[in-house]
Amino acid sequence: MTSNPLDRLDLSPNRCHSNLSSAELVERAVSAGEGVLASNGALVCLTGDRTGRSPKDKHLEDTPGIHDKIWWGKVNTPLTPAQFDGALEIAVAYLNSRPKVFKFEGYAGADPKHRLGVQVVTEQAWHSLFAQTLFIRQGTAAAGVKPGEPTPPFKKDWTILNAGRMRLTGEQQAKLGYKAPVLIAQSLERRIVLIIGSEYAGEMKKSIFYAMNYDMPEVGVVPMHCSCNVDRKTRENAALFFGLSGTGKTTLSADPQRALIGDDEHGWSDDGVFNFEGGCYAKCIKLSREGEPEIWNAIRFGSVLENTVIDPVTRVPDYDSAKYTENTRVTYPVDFIDGAVIPSVCGHPRNIIFLTADAYGVMPPVSKLTPEQAMYYFINGYTSKLAGTEAGVTEPQPNFSPCFGGVFLPRPPVMYARMLADKIAKHGTNVWLLNTGWTGGPYGTGSRFKLAYTRAFVSAILNGTLAKAEYQTDPIFGLHVPKAVEGVPSEVLLPRGTWNDGAAYDAQAKKLAQGFRENDKTFEMPENVRAAGPRL
């Protein structure tokens, strides 16, 4: 029988630093030149040429046990077991060659019934600190341990080996039959993640979200790429916010009147909603104290700033600078947010909000969805790609990401949509489509919906008044639009009336509707769900 290369990983005490405190990890990172302390106390680190995830370098081990369950295609590309074996040998040999490594052991899943034990082995101290902030630490209130209680024994389910500083040589690539220096490899059966050639720490976080997206459906839990908060006075009033980058998911869920459960990844079980993570991973570009005070105040000692420019003398972060990347990030424990719910669990949501930033300027600002529409818009996961954001993009383009997180789905999207629909039906949850994009014309001509209007919609949703409103039907998208919302001019509720040229609106709306229809052809879905889409 072939031995497991993982068994040869040297984690002996003389070279492996296990579960160090945040202060110890910061000290080691600074002394090793991995990062510097900012004036607010955060550790500032650079991730080299990889300042975001590397989806084209991410591959899944293809085995008979999982093959028929996987949504194979652009998102999930196969790696043979022999290739995974070879990559594992390389990663283990590299980490064994380092003078020291760091080990973190914690959890994904705030609900003890559904948590996974995660062991993270890294070469760099700051990567271990990142894991400590994003996963749930043993023996803490976040893990459900009360003061004076013993810490339950750790059970490892998943292993992450982070060899981000090395790159595959030409010889290694040839031996593996793989043609790139960077490889993010995951095995759902062995429960191992290999990170080779990328120092971007988000690869660790998202690999475990991917694992939860595979494992949780087996036990009846819906895994979701969303934020979650609850009313501070009425904790039964929980809400979920789904949305792609730039739609306002983090901003709208950070509400001083509501307590945060989590900002990115959750599961919905028979008992309610629980955070997969022990921390938050927020974007920093254009961050201000006035705009997002909760996030601003959470950036302190024990948090990690990625690729953020700081003044070399004062050490003050420059959140407006995109010198290294637009994707500047900060990670910090959830309890760094004032009033966050610890442990990060709550009941069943009363409301679910799908966020989209429609740059065509044709979708209503707020709509109440039928069960079929909820499935349709969840499977499509629409927002817009703006002109100028990528080379060759000269006008708005539809950007579809199934379930508002397609790049993290190992299984077919319709499976997650069915599970979510079952939960919605069982608990009588209202589902809304909230457009934070443009009105009066497309991007470049119209204007973005005022944040005050968007917050008024959210308030009316969460306090229950919008569910009692009178509705009208959008003729192209078939969406149910309220006739009046307190604090919002009624003329903005149906978008056609905000355009100077009605015919131009019709043409643009039909163009987007056609985009939806072209996208929904790529998915298997029930016919009543498909019929809930736009009308051509």
CA angle 175, 179, 184 (to 5 degrees): 95
The catalytic residue among 250, 251, 367, 498 is 250
- Does the annotation mark 250 as catalytic? yes
- Does the annotation mark 426 as catalytic? no
- Does the annotation mark 53 as catalytic? yes
- Give the residue ranges of DSSP H helices in 242-319: 249-253, 293-298
Phi and psi (nearest 5°) for 350?
A: -80, -30
What residues contact residue 118 under an 8 Å CB cut-off, 6+ apart? 105, 106, 107, 108, 131, 135, 156, 157, 158, 159, 160, 208
User: Do 450 and 373 contact (CB within 8 A), yes or no?
Assistant: no
The catalytic residue among 28, 258, 283, 329 is 329
The catalytic residue among 225, 283, 350, 368 is 225
The catalytic residue among 245, 288, 473, 522 is 245
- Does the annotation mark 439 as catalytic? no
- Does the annotation mark 206 as catalytic? yes
Diameter of the chain measured on Cα atoms: 74
The catalytic residue among 59, 115, 191, 206 is 206
- Give the residue ranges of DSSP H helices in 265-314: 293-298
Distances (CA, A) of 318 to 288, 322, 469, 514: 10, 9, 44, 42
User: Do 331 and 262 contact (CB within 8 A), yes or no?
Assistant: no
- Does the annotation mark 187 as catalytic? no
User: Do 200 and 307 contact (CB within 8 A), yes or no?
Assistant: no
User: Do 328 and 350 contact (CB within 8 A), yes or no?
Assistant: no
The catalytic residue among 59, 137, 249, 348 is 249
- The span from the CA of 329 to the CA of 317, in Å, is 12
Distances (CA, A) of 534 to 162, 496, 513: 45, 15, 5
3-class state of residue 385 by DSSP = strand
The catalytic residue among 53, 127, 368, 480 is 53
3-class state of residue 301 by DSSP = strand
Q: Which stretch of DSSP H or E encloses residue 209? A: helix 202-215
The catalytic residue among 215, 255, 264, 358 is 264
- Does the annotation mark 264 as catalytic? yes
- The span from the CA of 128 to the CA of 17, in Å, is 10
- Does the annotation mark 225 as catalytic? yes
Q: Which two tokens stand for residue 425?
A: 């039906």
What residues form DSSP beta bridges with 332? Answer: 280
User: Do 214 and 65 contact (CB within 8 A), yes or no?
Assistant: no
Active site residues: 53, 206, 225, 245, 249-250, 264, 329
